A and B are shown apart, each in its own frame.
Chain A
Amino acid sequence: MRHMQSSKLLKMIILALMGTISLALLFLNFPLPFLPPFLKVDFSEVPALIASFIFSPIAGVIVIAIKNALYLLFGFGEPVGVAANFVAGIMFVLPVSLLYHKYKNVKSIVSGLVVGTIVMAIGMSVINYFVLLPLYAIIMGIEEYKSVEVVRQIVVIGVLPFNVIKGIIVGVLFIPLFNKMHKWIEQERSNFAA
Chain B
Amino acid sequence: MSNSLIIGQYVPGQSIVHRLDPRTKIIMIFFFVFIVFFANSVPSYSILAFFAFGSIVLSRIPFRFILKGLTPIWFLIGFTFLLHIIITREGAVLVDLVVLKIYSGGLIQGFAISLRFFLLILVTSLLTLTTTPIEITDAIETLLNPLKKVKFPVHELALMMSISLRFIPTLMQEMDKISKAQASRGVDFRTGPIKERAKAIVPLLVPLFVSAFKRAEDLAMAMEARGYQGGEGRTKLRILRISGRDWVALFLFAVVLAGLFATRHYS
Which A residues have a C-beta under 8 Å from some C-beta of B? Answer: 5-6, 9-10, 12-21, 23-24, 27, 43, 46-47, 50, 62, 65-66, 69-70, 73-76, 78, 139-144, 169, 172-173, 176-177, 180-181, 184, 188
Contacts and interface: CB of A to CB of B under 8 A. Distances in A.
A173 B202 contact: yes
Contacts of A66: 160-161, 164
30 contacts: A5-B224, A6-B221, A9-B224, A12-B156, A12-B163, A16-B216, A17-B167, A17-B171, A20-B171, A23-B164, A23-B168, A24-B168, A24-B175, A62-B160, A66-B160, A70-B165, A73-B161, A73-B165, A75-B124, A76-B9, A140-B113, A141-B109, A141-B113, A144-B83, A172-B198, A172-B199, A173-B199, A173-B202, A177-B202, A177-B206
Which bracket fits the contact residues of B? 35 or more
A10 B84 contact: no
Contacts of A27: 7
Interface in B113-141: 113, 116-117, 121, 124-125, 127-129, 133, 136-137
B212 A17 contact: yes
Nearest to B84: A141
B254 interface: no
A13 B172 contact: no
Contacts of B228: 9
Given A73-B133, A139-B117, A21 B163 contact: no
Contacts of A10: 216-217, 220
A17 B224 contact: no
Contact of A70 (B76, B116, B161, B215): B161
Given A24-B175, A74-B8, A176-B199, A12 B160 contact: yes
B151 interface: no
The A interface, classified by DSSP as helix, strand, loop or mixed, is: helix
Interface string B11-55: 000000000000000000000000000000000000000000000
Contacts of A47: 209
B194 interface: yes
| Residue from B116, B160, B201, B202 whose CB has the most chain A CB atoms within 10 Å | B160
B217 A173 contact: no
Interface string B150-183: 0000001101110111011001100100000000
A184 B210 contact: yes
Interface string B176-202: 000000000000000000110011011
A20 B173 CA distance: 12
A17 B217 CA distance: 11
Contacts of A70: 133, 161, 164-165, 168
A140 B80 contact: yes
B133 A21 contact: no
A144 to B, nearest CB: 7
Contact of A16 (B76, B133, B163): B163
A75 B224 contact: no
Nearest to B163: A16
Nearest to B167: A20
A120 to B, nearest CB: 18
B242 interface: no
B147 interface: no
Contacts of A184: 210
